[in-house]
A and B are shown apart, each in its own frame.
Chain A
């Protein structure tokens, strides 16, 4: 058997390991082993590739891989669980840039050689798409990172003629693309290199411009989409070098990102194009002048304790505020005390709570909450009327009853957690300010709602000490 064939077969082995690894991610019990199996696939793919290289520039590989290993290890060890969304956002960008560079270097290696006509089109399209998707992923991810890390404003940035500028860039990208892909490299000469660099610049501009106009509350959707792009960029790079393992893994990631994007959009009752083009928060600011009237009823932590002490069923509804206050450990402690007090305790997590899908689950898992207690809205909503207390911790839009009651609300139609239907709803909140999306919340004025103002971590601490005394 020739070496090429053996390598091909081993690459299939790597792809199988990725698939098995992802399959094991369908249950929390097997997920960790699945991740390990997936990493074995990656190791296998890298080793096979090293055997395929005609010359191995050891020093350069060691330099590149060394930087990667150090940065990767350090950031994976040091990152706080509250900051995972930023990290994933940034890593998406790195993946996109890596694919872009692969496309560029393939272009560079081949541009002096005249490709045979029948494969020129195929290769050129693949190079173009790799550079384009990689560039958009990279710059878009940097902006998403900036918004999530709070370096950039969370408000959507809109300006006059925005759609015109974006459409202009799109037209230029398509136009250049058609011209670029129809060249056989040698025939294009130095002009082709200019076009390639222009494409890189346009792709980066598109990534920035299309992401700055999206509000902070929609970032979960954006990082899902960028996650998908980073996979598709790797996939396109696979077409350049005719490598199946790149195509398979890239597609798996691409599909994963698309599904998550879809889940997020459904959980907000909005279409993808609405998320990408409407500048949600900006619209909400102007439409909401009326606001909701009523009187919020504040309670002290002693009174809240008395309510909780008498409760036989409690649902916690965490949001990003819990993460921001680092209150997850206190929440778990309170939950255990309620359980010891005979109450049935659940943690209900909305799909878009936090800054990325599943973010709250990770934080509560970090605080040692067993995963069986983490449930979804459809698990608690049907029995909400029978629930004694719903405790909202730093969540806002995902419990906003305006989504059910007010057709004019920007949240109208979004599936929410119906905490307003619980016998009592205690809302832990820093102040009366609206949430991330900038939409007012009538929940705060309901008869059965009690507002417990203050820092979530401190407030939970007070409740816990009430239970202890």
Chain B
């Protein structure tokens, strides 16, 4: 790891901007889509799989890290796969009036 003060402040910068962007984006989601929003964001929080993979990729990591990392990959992957699939399953059901009776 090489962490300069510049990097640290940049990370904060990214964090704050992403939070603000998130607020603006989510405010526009209508209440009828709040459940798919939650399951979809659940899938996005599975992004921690990146951290889990990197942990597994440490050179010469011991057994403890391997176990922790593998478990983390499994859990995050459940979130990613389950989250996206169930969101898709829900959104598929939302149909407009003029398309009614289409593919179920």
A152 contacts B by Cβ under 8 Å = no
Contacts of B81 in A (CB 8 A): 68-69, 71-73, 76
Q: Which residues of chain B from 12 to 42 have a CB within 8 Å of any chain A CB?
A: 14-15, 18-23, 25-42
* Chain B residues within 8 Å of chain A by Cβ, number: 88
Cα distance A122–B5 in the bound complex, in angstroms: 10
Given A32-B91, A247-B15, A254-B19, decide whether A50 and B53 contact each other with a Cβ distance below 8 A: yes
Contact assessment for A65 and B18 in the assembled complex, using a CB-CB cutoff below 8 Å: no
Contact assessment for B49 and A84 in the assembled complex, using a CB-CB cutoff below 8 Å: no
Given A249-B45, A250-B45, decide whether A32 and B50 contact each other with a Cβ distance below 8 A: no
* Chain A residues within 8 Å of chain B by Cβ, number: 117
- Determine which residue in B7, B22, B59, B71 has the highest number of CB atoms from chain A within 10 A of its CB, and name it: B22
Q: Which residue of A has the minimal Cβ distance to B71?
A: A101
Contacts of A69 in B (CB 8 A): 77, 81
Q: How far is the CB of A433 from chain B (nearest CB, A)?
A: 26
Contact assessment for A118 and B5 in the assembled complex, using a CB-CB cutoff below 8 Å: yes
Contact assessment for B52 and A101 in the assembled complex, using a CB-CB cutoff below 8 Å: yes
Dominant SS among interface residues on chain B: helix
Given A42-B46, A91-B79, A122-B8, decide whether A109 and B65 contact each other with a Cβ distance below 8 A: yes
Cα distance A234–B88 in the bound complex, in angstroms: 23
Q: How far is the CB of B84 from chain A (nearest CB, A)?
A: 4
Given A95-B46, A237-B48, decide whether A371 and B94 contact each other with a Cβ distance below 8 A: yes
Q: How far is the CB of A296 from chain B (nearest CB, A)?
A: 31
Cα distance A29–B80 in the bound complex, in angstroms: 23
A55 contacts B by Cβ under 8 Å = yes
Cα distance A31–B45 in the bound complex, in angstroms: 18
Given A38-B44, A249-B45, A260-B37, decide whether A109 and B55 contact each other with a Cβ distance below 8 A: yes
Cα distance A430–B16 in the bound complex, in angstroms: 49
Q: Which residues of chain A from 58 to 112 have a CB within 8 Å of any chain B CB?
A: 60-61, 63-65, 67-69, 71-73, 75-77, 79, 81, 84, 87-88, 91-92, 94-95, 97-99, 101-102, 104-106, 108-110
Contacts of A109 in B (CB 8 A): 55, 58, 61, 65
Chain A positions 311 through 325: 1 when the CB is less than 8 Å from some CB of chain B, otherwise 0: 000000000000000
Flag the segment in A225-233, A280-288, A298-306, A418-426 that touches B.
Answer: A225-233
Contacts of B93 in A (CB 8 A): 362, 365-366, 368
- Determine which residue in A21, A22, A223 has the highest number of CB atoms from chain B within 10 A of its CB, and name it: A22
Contact assessment for B96 and A99 in the assembled complex, using a CB-CB cutoff below 8 Å: no
Cα distance A233–B18 in the bound complex, in angstroms: 15
Flag the segment in A143-151, A349-357, A441-449 that touches B.
Answer: A349-357
Of the candidates A38, A72, A233, A247, which one forms a contact with B11 in the assembled complex, judged by CB atoms under 8 Å apart?
A247
Q: Which residues of chain A from 113 to 159 have a CB within 8 Å of any chain B CB?
A: 115, 118-119, 122-123
Contact assessment for B42 and A84 in the assembled complex, using a CB-CB cutoff below 8 Å: no
Flag the segment in A238-246, A388-396, A406-414, A459-467 that touches B.
Answer: A238-246
Q: Which residue of B has the minimal Cβ distance to A40?
A: B84
Of the candidates B46, B47, B74, B84, which one forms a contact with A64 in the assembled complex, judged by CB atoms under 8 Å apart?
B74
Q: How far is the CB of A376 from chain B (nearest CB, A)?
A: 6
Contacts of A274 in B (CB 8 A): none
- Determine which residue in A77, A234, A373 has the highest number of CB atoms from chain B within 10 A of its CB, and name it: A234
Contacts of B56 in A (CB 8 A): 53, 57, 60-61, 64
Q: Which residues of chain B from 50 to 102 have a CB within 8 Å of any chain A CB?
A: 50-62, 64-66, 68-97, 100-101
21 A-B residue pairs with Cβ-Cβ distance under 8 Å, sorted by A, are A26-B28, A31-B33, A46-B50, A64-B70, A76-B85, A95-B79, A97-B72, A98-B48, A99-B48, A101-B72, A102-B68, A123-B3, A230-B42, A239-B11, A252-B25, A253-B22, A260-B34, A263-B34, A356-B35, A370-B97, A373-B97
Given contacts A73-B81, A257-B41, 4 further A-B contacts (CB under 8 A): A63-B74, A84-B86, A227-B41, A256-B38
